[in-house]
Amino acid sequence: MVAVDVDLKPLVEQARAGDSRAWDRLFQRYQLPLYTYVYEWARDEQASLDLVQETFISAFRNLDGLRDDARFGSWLFGIAHQKCAQRWRRLSRERIVAVEELPEPPAEEDDNPAAWLLRREQEEQLMSLLEQLSPAHRSVLMLHFLEDFPIEEIAAITGAPPGTVKSRLHHARRQLRALLEESQ
């Protein structure tokens, strides 16, 4: 797992003081992981962009709600998670099931077609395996993969008890491994 966290506390402190550049750097750091996580819920590019933007605005206006500056990332993901859940509930009420095809991945410039194919195969395999997990398991696993959040922070993001998160993560990993072995 790649270490993704740098010390964000000084940036958060500057953001608290109203420094727009600090906000910009914080948002820049999290925009792609947030979008990736949100996309797993929304399955729609424009909706995911809107959700990320709403998350940024909400974070900007409610920074007082963040108690521990070191947990800025999980706090931001928590806001996004709530917005995704709200949207999902609204769509469920409206009985709109938005099942759309995944967008085409970006065209890669690679001189080695074999490496490109191998990489594409790995990506497709991982994504197809993730698709087979339940939403709760996929959500926990995504947060673990994307930001390597600890159990407590994933629990704070998803609103589930830490014990439940630990169990879900364990089962999701085991299921993913089993699916991987089946596919090979």
Partner 1 sequence: MKNPREILLGRHAAVGPKLDAIRREALRLANNPGPAADAPRTAPPLLVQMWEQLVLPCRAAWTVLAAAWAVILLLQVQGDTPPASGQESAPLTPMAVALLQEQRDLRAELLGATRVRPVERDATPKPRSDAEPGTGSAARRRATPGEPESPALFA
Assigned token pair, 72: 């800025």
Helix and strand numbers, DSSP H then E, in the chain: 8, 0
- Closest contact distance (angstroms) between CB of 95 and partner 1 is 28
Cα–Cα nearest to 34, from 53, 8, 62:
53
x-or-dash pattern for partner 1, window 69-108, by CB under 8 A? ----------------------------------x-xx--
**Beta carbons within 8 Å of 48's beta carbon, 6+ residues apart:** 35, 38, 39, 42
Q: Measured between alpha carbons, how far is 44 from 138 in angstroms, rounded to an integer?
A: 17
Q: Which range touches partner 1 (CB under 8 A), out of 57-65, 79-87, 131-139, 162-170?
A: 57-65
Q: Are the C-beta atoms of residues 118 and 157 closer than 8 Å to each other?
A: no
Q: Measured between alpha carbons, how far is 63 from 176 in angstroms, rounded to an integer?
A: 36
The DSSP call for residue 44 is: -
The answer to whether 116 contacts partner 1 (rule: CB under 8 A) is no
Assigned token pair, 181: 């072995």
Instruction: Return the residue of 20, 128, 134, 183 that touches partner 1, per CB under 8 A.
Output: 20
Instruction: Return the residue of 2, 6, 99, 114 that touches partner 1, per CB under 8 A.
Output: 2
Q: Which range touches partner 1 (CB under 8 A), out of 21-29, 77-85, 89-97, 150-158?
A: 21-29
The answer to whether 53 contacts partner 1 (rule: CB under 8 A) is yes
The contact set with partner 1 (CB under 8 A) reads 1-2, 4, 20, 23-24, 27-28, 31-33, 35-36, 39, 45, 49, 52-53, 56-57, 60-61, 103, 105-106, 119, 122-123, 126-127, 142, 145-146, 148
